[in-house]
Structures are given as structure tokens and as C-alpha cells.
Structure 1
Amino acid sequence: MTSTTWTRLAVPALAVSAVIVLTSLTPAQAAPVHPVGTWGASADEVGGAVGAAGLTDRSVRNLVHTSLGGSGVRVTLSNAFGDRPVTFTSTHLGLAGDGAEVVPGTNRPMTFEGADEVTVAPGTEVLSDPVDATVPADATLAVSFHVVGESGPITGHDVATQTSYVSGTAGADVAGEEAGAAFTTQISSWYWVESVVVEKPRRVRTAVFFGDSITDGNGSTAGADRRYPDQVADRLVTSRFAGRFGVMNEGISANRVLADSTGGQRGLDRFRRDVLDQPGVSTVVVLAGINDIRWDHADDASDLITAYRDLIAQAHSEDVCVVGATLTPYEGGSRYTPARDQVRVAVNEWIRTSGEFDGIVDFDAATRDPARPARFLPAYDSGDHLHPGDAGYAAMAEAFDLSLLECDR
């Protein structure tokens, strides 16, 4: 039995290339395995006119970035927030090249229970059959498919901080093409794709990063994969934990813990789907609550403390460890007031001192200006005083003690 390995070549700057190498399965690959998430994005309703109206007979090419390499690759397509069944055909997985191109020789067809077409009912999702290929760690993949007929409202991930593509001609199925010329429309959301999963030995686990726009990477450079969970994944590769954890980002911009919003279902209600139901999850990092404070859903620290205890109880019931993260400063940002900031300060004090989380990471201390603690250090500010920029997300990743992921319940 053979498996296809997609390997990047050393090439001159600005060039992209790859080769296909056929390799026999090693004894380690033949050992008992289980699914581990290498990429994820929380499902929600995609905003804007296109998101509401949907697509009709168009091909979509989503670009997503792996954290962990592996074989037996599967992809989840979600119609969780659709209002009708959506049919997908010609689903493919390949290595992303320049723009909408796929690296030649890597675009592999995917099936669903052996069929090359699948219809996903509203409120549900489907997991593909394994693709006989090994994907690299820290690589951008192209997940392509054709939408048959009228899709209705699109389930996806609104703020991707990544450019993906839709074909320009209705009716033409171009998902299997490696050229990108037919994908003439750029989109800044991910459409219908929810996760990428690989098969790994059972000691390898999934770490889920759960939260709002700061976990989602709002304010980072689009297409550069500089969200703080991405940069934690980069650190893992060069640490003693290399190959031990896949990283899934389950942040949603504008999300709240206590109340539904334009940022989707409240955290208390989506926690099971987006965290506990993920494959191989052992640890979740919770950085959430700043939007509840900003929009007066948490008038007192006790409102969020009660919610955190609920999340901890949900996770512990599934033997999943919970790392609590302090809320970052936002003086000068939208809806900042000193009174609201006092709630944030009190919440952070509880996170640091309560002992109720399995571990903590102090993102507040890592990003604040020592001379003005309610505000970001200027070098870490994206410019809106609410979200970090690339340097701020790097500081958060550096502040994260990787041994927190070893927590075992």
C-alpha cells in the first residue's frame, strides 16, 4: 500500500513548487491511530449580500493552513446554518500555489462514503473519506468543490483573514482544475469548509483555541497566518512538543460568551460543537469575554465568572483541560470606559488567582503598556486599540507556556 506525500521543494524567492513522492507506510503509520485536527474554523452564517443569498452553480476554492502534518486527510463540510440541503460535487484537496492555483500534480479528489457527490442537510455537517495523501505541517491547502444549484445562505467563517476564491461562471465545474484562471472572484471568508483532520498515533492530541476576534486574528496581516494560535503552532514545531499537537482555531469575530450577536451563537452554546466535539481534543484555551464587557452583558465580573465555571464544567465532564487567558487591554478602543475596564480588571484577577482553570496564560500582562496598563503597548496595537497587530499576536504566542498543553485529566 502506498500513500502520496506532498513535499515542498527549496525554490527561489517568489517561486512555488512541489513534487509528489510515493512512500511505503512505515510501522509507526500502521500503529493504532485516531483523528486529530490540523485546521479548524468555527461555523457561522457568512455575512454580506453573497452570504445571505448564497451561490448558484459555482465552484469554490478555500485556502486553509495546516498546523500538523499527517496522512488519512479528511475534510468537514458544514451546512449548520443553511436553510436548505446543499449539494457539493467534484470536491478536491491540494497544495495551494500562487493565487487561486493548485500546485501541479497535487489536486486529489475526495469522496463521501465512496461517492463523489454529497448533499448536506441544513443543520448538519459531513466528513469526507480519507484522502490517500500525506499533507505537510505549516502548509496552505486548497479545498475546492462545486456547489450544485442554489445554495441558500452560506455556512462558513466570516472573518478568515485569508483570501479564497469563487469561480466567475455559473454552471462551469472547475473545482478539479489546478489552474486558477477560472476563479475570478476573491472572498475574505471561508465557505462551508469547517475542519481538516489527519490520522495520528493516539499520543498526538488536538489543542483548541476558543474565543472572539482576538483568537480569530482580526488585525493581523491577511494571508500571513499570524493569528496568535498560528504562532503557537509555529513554536510547537521547534519545541520538544513537535508533532504532539494539532491546533484548531475556534475564534469568531464579535462573538460573546453570554449573548448571541452578529458574531454568532454565544460561547456557552457553541462550546460543545466547536470544542468538545472536535476530534482528539485534550486542551482548550479560552480567551473570551471582552465583547460581553464592551456591550454591557457583563456588568460585573461575576457574570463572566459564572460563565467560565460553566465552560470548565462542560470541558471537565469530557476530560478536557481548560487554560484560562486574561483579557487584553483596550483603552482607546471602541466602547471603552473606565467603568467597563474595571470589570475586565476584576475578571483578570479572578482568572489569575482562583485556581479553577487547569492553567492560565496572562495575555494582559504580555501586551499592555507598563506606563499605561489599560492600553496596549503601542508596538503591539493594530491601530484600533482593541485588536493586537502581528507583533502583538507574536507577543501573545511567546507568552504561552507550551507545557500547558500537556495537561491530562
Structure 2
Amino acid sequence: MSTHETDDGTGGWTPTWTQAMTDFRGEDGEPPFDDVTVRMTVPASVGGSHVRVELSNLFGEDPVRIARSAIGVRGRFVEVSIDGQSSIELPAGTSRWTDPVDLTVSHGDEIVADLYLPESTPYTTANGFTFDRSLPGDFVGSRAFPLGGSTPVETDESREFPATDTGTGPEPEPDGNGWSLPPGGPFLRTIEVAGAGAKAVVVCLGASSTAMGWPQYTAALLPADARIAVVNRGISGNRIRLDAPSATPSWGRAGLSRFDEDVLGTHGVTHLVIAYNSNDWSLPGRVTPLDEMPTLAQLIDGYRELIDRARTAGLAVLLTTVTPLAPDLAGVPGREGFRLAVNEWIRTSGHEFVDFDVAIRSVAHPSLLEDRYAAPDHTHPNVNGSKRLAQVMTEALARLQL
């Protein structure tokens, strides 16, 4: 697939950053926004000469009013509009593209997206782990951003991804042993650039380990002249076969359910990475009903359907093996045996694959994560682990001669 052509002479649009939007209604982790500015600082995968933004209220029950918004790079902010109007309304269940703005973005730049929400707005359609919330007021484009309950933060401050100013979680630790928490936030689904001349667009579909940031680290490792966009469509708790249970809607629709929107709906997509965790078979009987447990054949059929749908659309596909389970499950034969069987199929099925399991598992205890790659729960990769996964993914993309 080629990138979509613009109507303003700038060439095709290419995603430089994405997230998979999910439903946070009924989950009370984040209070509503009311007369505050939300700032999301996200890494650019590829560069371009023009920018546009996709804003989404897909899971909201009421319209979302954004009184003012802007995109900034290296201290320069440009206000954005829709149909020429700076005050934007997102009807419930919809997504809308902003008008293009003339703003140069380079590979590796931090793109700052500011949304001023003047009235009470629930945290509904969102993803990601870290974003900034201001003190009351409109601070769109402000260089000194007054964090709620904190002191102003300069927008041109140099900081390594992931961002350290958090709206929804603990800060990553500087030694890389803490949680890998990528930037994201509410209502911002996609940032695209025009004029990038991208050679490939790699969409990473998966669950928490994907959502936690190895795609962004992969993009950062690639040289700017590679012109490869690597974008994230991971959702924590997500499964291949089954949608989220009603109690935890933020786990999102199943990979099979959201494939058309999150993969085929990504402009210019050329490659799909299917990088799921163990949620399909580790959650049933523990967090979800036991009758949701798939057979191995059913799960493999789910993988095969994703592969077939991607190839029908002309996409190249890479699979990733499943990394070790939580320590309390690693010794349970049925669960660990399932993981080993899935990985055996991935390694022997004839499909291109990247061995995430080998990359971060313990050499001495292969059913567990290596300590230096494990987050505090010893289930997810920490910052070092996400960077290690990015390294092996970068090597795999090089083997494909992208």
C-alpha cells in the first residue's frame, strides 16, 4: 500500500506516531479534565514538512469540546484547526483529522500535542501511560507548562523517551530497571507527516509489552535515512480472540476485532508485526472465566486469521515469540506448556519471526525473565527489556532489507 495522497501538494501522509485507542469508561484511574490543558510529548518515527493530527472520541458517550489545540516541535508551536475552526468538537463515537499545518518534523524529534479542555470531560478514549495535566487554565503552546500540583516544565527540556512527567503512572527509573511507560494520553490517536517519502510503515499489533514501548525504541534505533515508520497499536490486557470483559473495557477489542481499524486503517502500512503476550491463555480461570480458555488449535487459528487478512491486504508479516509468564504461572505446567507450544509453532510455522523470548529470558531459568530486563512485576519488560526487544526487532528489519 502506498501512503495516502494529500490534496495540498505536499505528497503522501505517513504516520509518525500512533496509539491504539481504547475504552476507559467505568475505570476510575484518571479523574475528569475540567479547565485544564493536556500535554502529550511523543517521539517522531519519521520526519516531514507538514503535520496533521487524528483526534478521537471513539468511546465517549458525549461530545468532547477542545477549545484550543496546538502541535509543537523544538519550541515552535502551531495552532491546529478542523475546517478552519480552532474550537473543535468531537461527536461521540467519531474520530476527526485536523487541517494540515506547515511544521517541519525530523526523525527522533519530540512532538508536543496540547489540548485545552475547558469543561468537565471524562477520561474515556485514550491509551498510553504518561502525559501532563496543567493547573487550571489554557496553556496551549506555553513554554513554561505549569503541571498540576507541580512547578512549570520547560517544553524544550531534553529528556529521553519515555517522558518522565506522568499523568497516569509511576516515573520510569533512570537505571532502566523500572517500568517502561511510553507517552500517550487521551483523544490523540495519530500524528501524520507529509513529505516523508517513507520506504515502509511497520504497524505493531499486540498487548501490554507492545504498548509499553519497544516499537518507539525501535523507531529511535533506526537511522533517519532508513525512512521507516514504526508505530504502536498495542493495548495492555489485549487478546487476539476475545474482546475485553465488561469489568475492564480498557483491555480493548480483540486483535481480530480491531484489525481493520488499527492495522489496515493506518495510512501507508506495508508490514505487520503480531506481538501478543499470554493474555489469551493466562487470564482465564484467574481474572476471566475459565471457559474463555482457548485450545492451542483455536489460538493458532487466531494467529493464522490475522496473518491471512494481512497478506490479503498485501502486507508482509512478522511474528514474535511470547516472553516468560509471571513467576506464579511459570511453574504451572498447563500455562507454561501452552506458552512453549505457541512458541514452538511460531518458530516452526514457516513465517518470519523475531525471538523475543530468547532475547529477554533468563539463561539459567528460561521460564523466567532475566532480572536486568524485568519490570518490578517480573512479567513485563522494564526499560532495559523494551530496549532489548527493540534491538532484536531492528536487526530483524535489517534482515528483511527494509
Deviation, structure 1 residue 319: 1.2
1:276 corresponds in structure 2 to: 264
Runs of 4+ off more than 6 Å = none
Higher strand share: 1
Cα distance in structure 2, aligned partners of 1:117 and 1:32? 25
- Counterpart of 2:391 in 1: which secondary structure? helix
Task: Give yes or no for contact 2:32–2:121 (8 Å, CA) kept in 1.
Answer: yes
Contact 2:16 2:44 in 1 (8 A): yes
Deviation for aligned residue 1:134: 0.5
For the structure 1 residues 174 and 378, does the alpha-carbon distance in structure 2 shift closer, same or farther, using more than 3 Å as the test? closer
Contact kept, 8 Å, 1:54 with 1:152, in 2: the verdict is yes
Structure 2 Cα separation of the partners of residues 50 and 329 of structure 1: 28
Please give the secondary structure, in 2, of the residue aligned with 1:382: coil
Q: Is the 8 A contact 1:294 1:336 kept in 2?
A: no
> d(CA) in 1 for partners of 2:387 and 2:359?
10
The separation in 2 between residues aligned to 1:35 and 1:336, in whole angstroms, is 48
1:93-144 superposed Cα distances (whole Å, 9 cap, x missing partner)? 1137xxxxxx3xx121111122212211111111111111111221222211
* Alignment match, 2:54: 76
Separation (CA, whole Å) in 1 of partners of 2:36 and 2:252? 26
Q: CA deviation at 1:183?
A: 5.0
Correspondence for 1:89:
67
Separation (CA, whole Å) in 2 of partners of 1:92 and 1:352? 45
Residues 298 and 354 (structure 1), Cα distance of their counterparts in 2 relative to 1, 3 Å cut: farther
The answer for the alignment partner of 2:45 in structure 1 is: 67
- Aligned partner of 2:242 among 246, 249, 259: 259
Confirm whether residue 187 of structure 1 aligns to residue 175 of structure 2: no
Residue 154 (structure 1) aligned with residue 118 (structure 2): no
Displacement after TM superposition at 1:31 (Å): 8.4
Letter matched to residue 79 of structure 2: P
The match for 2:219 is 233
Distance 1:362 1:323 in 2: 10
- In structure 2, relative to structure 1, the CA distance for the partners of 1:50 and 1:319 (3 Å cut) is same
Return the letter of the residue paired with 2:217: Q
Whole-Å separation in 1 of the counterparts to 2:376 and 2:141: 41
1:287 corresponds to which letter in structure 2?
A
| TM-align CA RMSD | 2.4
Q: 1:168 to 1:292 in 2, by over 3 A?
A: same
TM (normalized to structure 1)? 0.79
AA in 2 matched with 1:254: G
Deviation at 1:55, TM superposition (A): 2.4
Q: Structure 1 pair 31/145, CA: closer, same or farther in 2 (3 Å)?
A: closer
* Separation (CA, whole Å) in 2 of partners of 1:201 and 1:394: 25
Aligned counterpart, 2:156: none
Q: Does the 8 Å contact 2:207/2:275 carry over to 1?
A: yes
Q: Partner letter of residue 314 of structure 1?
A: R
- Cα offsets for 1:72-92 (capped at 9, x unmatched): 111111101100111212110
User: Given the superposition, is the C-alpha separation of residues 392 and 276 from structure 1 closer, same or farther in structure 2, using an over 3 Å criterion?
Assistant: same
The change in CA–CA distance for 1:168 and 1:71 in structure 2 (over 3 A counts) is same
TM-score where L is the length of structure 2: 0.80
Partner Cα distance (1:404, 1:389) in 2: 26
Q: Deviations over 1:250-280 (max 9, x none)?
A: 1111111122223121111112211110111
Separation in 2, partners of 1:68, 1:192: 22
SS at match of 1:375: coil
CA contact (8 A) 1:44 1:264 kept: yes
Aligned counterparts of 2:11 and 2:384: Cα–Cα separation in 1: 37
Give the paired residue count: 350
Give the alignment partner of residue 112 of structure 1, picking from 79, 82, 92. 82
Match of 1:361 in 2: 354
User: Which segment drifts farther, 72-81 or 260-269?
Assistant: 260-269
The unaligned stretches of length 5 or more in structure 1 are 1-29, 97-102, 218-226
